[in-house]
Amino acid sequence: MYTVHKLALVLLVSYQAVAQMPQRQPTPNDTLKSPRILDDKRAVISVYAPKASEVVVSGDFQKQYKPLSLTKNDQGVWSVVTDPLKPDYYTYTLTVDGVRTMDPKNPIIKQGISSLENVMTIPGPETAFEDNITVPHGEVREVWYQSQSLGMMRRMHVYTPPGYEKGTTKYPVFYLLHGAGDDDSGWNSIGRAGFILDNLLAANKAKPMIVVMPNGSMPMNLTPGSNMNQVMSDMRTRFSNELLKDVMPTVEKTYRTLTNRENRAIAGLSMGGFQTLDVTLSHPELFNYVGVFSSGFFGNTIDEADTKYAKALQDPSFNKNKKVFWIEIGKDDFVMDANKKTIALLDKHKIKYQYKETDGGHTWVNWRQYLHEYAPLLFQ
């Protein structure tokens, strides 16, 4: 009865109602906290599951998401202690006897289109760039619009910088794309894009800009028999139509935007990086700043890229109109092969880009860092 939740409940009911609630024996669950972060930056993840026979946790705090087994104490509480972790925001998921389980003691989650993950914070000075601190904050807006190309209501998140509301100036626009499985809320929640921009702006390390985070997950009719090449091709076409015919016109009509190529940037992670490559090579006239995080031409899309994008790849003025073409990936990323093949294609056509390999894999730990490195390069 003494958890925050129960006390919150007490605040809203009359004492009489509380007195009428069924009494029960206290359990170890009542005072359990999870995760607990130890002074040495190890995390203790726990769940009260006295009847379970196997509990594991997986998350991006482990290389390749390698699952860890929890062990049960005589109170029925399962726990595991992680290695010391670099201060950052991590995701994890418990599996209790085969059932995917959100940590009942941790309400902080990452929202996906088909599943959730828990989020834990290891505090430390390393997170200063992405923390919510007392600097001026921009606003992040949930914007619903009627997508003509998809025939449905769609949502995007739009970051407007501090001072936008009371100002009159026009701003450059940065289109920032999430990965598969996420939606338009991802970059602002687990990606902490708003805080990263706020902190860069407060330190005068980036230009004030509008950041548009569209929903890149396209409605697709996927079945076990779906031809994956066709699916990739359809997804790419749908996204490109949606971005060019709906998202960009809506943004440029609604907000005080600068609408020439010099004032438009794009970047995306994983699926969003693939979408970024496709839009950039299909419409090289749109964006002078391009960022590709942990991505490349996946699967057989690399095989057709040379012909599909021949016009842009062979255009001698392509390089001149890209002030930044930034490609970044972690050494352990499982899409490294697609990344390497994509770079080889660009090299073949003497497309100029900046390339950086970091530690780590296909995780938000890297993508927040990449945003923090890329955003200062824009519109300078």
Residues numbered 145 to 184 that lie near a second copy (CB under 8 A) are 145-146, 153, 165-166, 179-181
Q: Report the C-alpha gap between 339 and 293 in whole angstroms.
A: 9
State the minimum distance, in angstroms, from the CB of residue 252 to a second copy: 12
Q: Which stretch binds a second copy (CB under 8 A): 143-151, 200-208, 241-249, 372-380?
A: 143-151
With respect to a second copy, which residue has the nearer C-beta, 166 or 285? Answer: 166
Q: Are strands 324-330 and 289-293 parallel, antiparallel or unpaired?
A: parallel
Residues numbered 43 to 102 that lie near a second copy (CB under 8 A) are 47-53, 96-102
By CB under 8 A, is residue 10 in contact with a second copy?
Answer: yes
By CB under 8 A, is residue 8 in contact with a second copy?
Answer: yes
State the minimum distance, in angstroms, from the CB of residue 193 to a second copy: 12
Q: Where are the alpha helices (DSSP H) in the chain?
A: 4-12, 15-20, 193-202, 228-241, 248-254, 271-282, 301-308, 310-313, 336-348, 364-374
By CB under 8 A, is residue 13 in contact with a second copy?
Answer: yes
Taking every pair of C-alpha atoms in the chain, what is the biggest distance, in angstroms? 79
State the minimum distance, in angstroms, from the CB of residue 184 to a second copy: 13
Q: Report the C-alpha gap between 330 and 294 in whole angstroms.
A: 7
Q: Which stretch binds a second copy (CB under 8 A): 38-46, 135-143, 282-290, 322-330?
A: 135-143
Residues numbered 332 to 361 that lie near a second copy (CB under 8 A) are 334-335, 337-338
Residues in Cβ contact with 45 at an 8 Å cutoff, skipping those fewer than 6 apart: 34, 35, 57, 70, 79, 80, 82, 92, 94, 103, 120
With respect to a second copy, which residue has the nearer C-beta, 162 or 377? Answer: 162
SS3 content of the chain, % helix, strand, coil (to 5): 30, 25, 45
Residues numbered 178 to 217 that lie near a second copy (CB under 8 A) are 179-181, 188, 194, 217
With respect to a second copy, which residue has the nearer C-beta, 337 or 359? Answer: 337
Q: Report the C-alpha gap between 33 and 31 in whole angstroms.
A: 6
By CB under 8 A, is residue 314 in contact with a second copy?
Answer: no
By CB under 8 A, is residue 35 in contact with a second copy?
Answer: no
With respect to a second copy, which residue has the nearer C-beta, 200 or 286? Answer: 200
Nearest to 227 by CA among 219, 239, 235: 235
With respect to a second copy, which residue has the nearer C-beta, 222 or 344? Answer: 222
State the minimum distance, in angstroms, from the CB of residue 35 to a second copy: 14
Angle between helices 271-282 and 228-241 (to 10 degrees): 60
Q: Report the C-alpha gap between 258 and 339 in whole angstroms.
A: 32
Binds a second copy by CB under 8 A, chosen from 128, 203, 222, 310: 222
Q: Which stretch binds a second copy (CB under 8 A): 82-90, 119-127, 227-235, 305-313?
A: 227-235
Residues numbered 275 to 304 that lie near a second copy (CB under 8 A) are 298-300
Q: Which stretch binds a second copy (CB under 8 A): 37-45, 242-250, 270-278, 324-332?
A: 270-278
Q: Do 238 and 216 contact (CB within 8 A), yes or no? A: no
Q: Which long-range contacts (CB under 8 A, 24 or more apart) does 353-356 make?
A: 353/325, 353/326, 353/327, 354/324, 354/325, 354/326, 354/327, 355/327, 355/328, 356/326, 356/327, 356/328, 356/329
With respect to a second copy, which residue has the nearer C-beta, 195 or 318? Answer: 195
